[in-house]
Amino acid sequence: MKAKIWIGIVWALMSLSCGPMHTHTSTTIAASESIRQGTKEEAKLHRKLKPLLRPQIRFEIERAIKNNDSCWVVVCITIPYASIRKHELFSAKSVLHTPEGFMELSEITLNARTQTECEDSCQSPQTEIDTRSGSISYLYYSSKFIYDERMERHADISIFTSLTDGRYTFYYSPIVLPVYWNRDCRANPLWSLSESFPADTLLLTSPFESIPYLYTMRLTTRKNVLTPQFYSIM
């Protein structure tokens, strides 16, 4: 029951936020992987957009480090060739969830080196992806925030993704990534790697492999990024 409640709250919050995955006009045709209506419009969307018949973007937590009262999570984003086509936008909204509450993280928007733009009200940053035929690109989402005792057990990061070309929008089923905190003393030196990063950012390489080259784009969708707005689930 709690799971249904928190998912409903998250979708409500997402509908109020801006970004290509939340921007709808009277001519937009939308469909969801979790809700199959079998309408002609939905069938047309699958023929045109082919959201399930293309290589899928994958997410994996590379490290989740707890250091005193702070946390650092790095999520690896694997982007296969042709997963995002020309004039398309892929959005991913991340939410840290526990049985007792949830906290919104940043929204990431990816495009395939096009001139596609959000509407004037859009605040979600966009990142261009350039993949060669048969190759795979990688991005690393780095997020730092203050630890809350409710994050101690059964925490996960739920990622709500969508794909749009402006005319058709497809909402994928949420991706759930379990969070296993690394408290080993050997992980403490790794924490120093995060000190030069802002609270939320995208990296071109893993911070645990080499000194990363940062994108000029920074994710700043949270006003006070180090203070978690952890909403309780009744």
Q: What is the CATH number of the domain that holds 170?
A: 2.60.40.10
Q: How far apart are CA 64 and CA 179, in angstroms?
A: 7
pLDDT above 90 for 232: no
Look up residue 92 and give its DSSP letter. E
Closest Cα to residue 217, out of 207, 205, 203? Answer: 203
| Most confident listed range (3-12, 13-22, 58-67, 222-231) | 58-67
Model confidence band, residue 115 (pLDDT cutoffs 50, 70, 90): very low
**Which residue range is the domain that position 54 belongs to?**
2-232
pLDDT above 60 for 144: yes
pLDDT above 60 for 225: no
Contact 141, 135 (CB under 8 A): no
> Could you give the number of structural domains in the chain?
1
Residue 177, pLDDT score? 97
Place of tokens 């006003």: 223
Give the helix ranges, DSSP H, for 69-158.
none
pLDDT above 90 for 10: no
Local structure of 150: helix, strand or coil:
helix
- 179: tokens are 């969070």
**For range 102-114, the mean pLDDT:** 84
Return the biggest CA–CA distance within the chain.
57
Helix (H) or strand (E) holding 169: strand 168-171
Place of tokens 């009262």: 69
